[in-house]
Structure 1
């Protein structure tokens, strides 16, 4: 099991391209069912510090492996609807 602080210190990597996506900014949690729904990471193209619209949401089912210091995700179609 990992704490939130531990997860936020892990870098996210796309298993399809090997691209480093950054670090977790926030989590979306279903408090009724006690489940993490998605990870929120800042958009690397973002120039606004506090703009949530620039954040990228990664659904929990896209996570393939949580390792010791990285999180591997399936980033296929992740940036399809982005600029």
Structure 2
């Protein structure tokens, strides 16, 4: 799968069915040595222009369980 094919997919938490964001709004954390993707960095939306305590949610690549045609399912027991 190419990175361009991941764009626009919704990221869903398997544990509670929560929608975490859309991959087009997400940054990738890449290991400088290997070039492998380490994590997805999903920005937390602002409420009336004010920042929340956490500015982004980090989803480690190892927690991704399935990449489908429309969504990415993650299972992160620490969330």
Alignment match, 1:76: 77
| Residue-pair matches, total | 75
Task: Please state if 1:55 is matched with 2:59.
Answer: no
- The answer for unaligned runs of 5 or more in structure 2 is none
The alpha-carbon deviation at position 49 of structure 1 amounts to 8.6
Task: Please state if 1:18 is matched with 2:3.
Answer: no
TM-score (norm 2): 0.78
Q: What is the root-mean-square deviation of aligned Cα atoms in Å?
A: 2.3
User: Given the superposition, is the C-alpha separation of residues 49 and 15 from structure 1 closer, same or farther in structure 2, using an over 3 Å criterion?
Assistant: same
State the alpha-carbon separation in 2 of the partners of residues 54 and 42 from structure 1: 6
The alpha-carbon deviation at position 8 of structure 1 amounts to 2.8
- The answer for unaligned runs of 5 or more in structure 1 is 79-83
The alpha-carbon deviation at position 9 of structure 1 amounts to 0.8
What are the superposed Cα offsets for residues 50-81 of structure 1, whole Å, 9 maximum, x if unpaired?
A: 9xx50111111110001111000013222xxx
SS in 2 for 1:13: strand
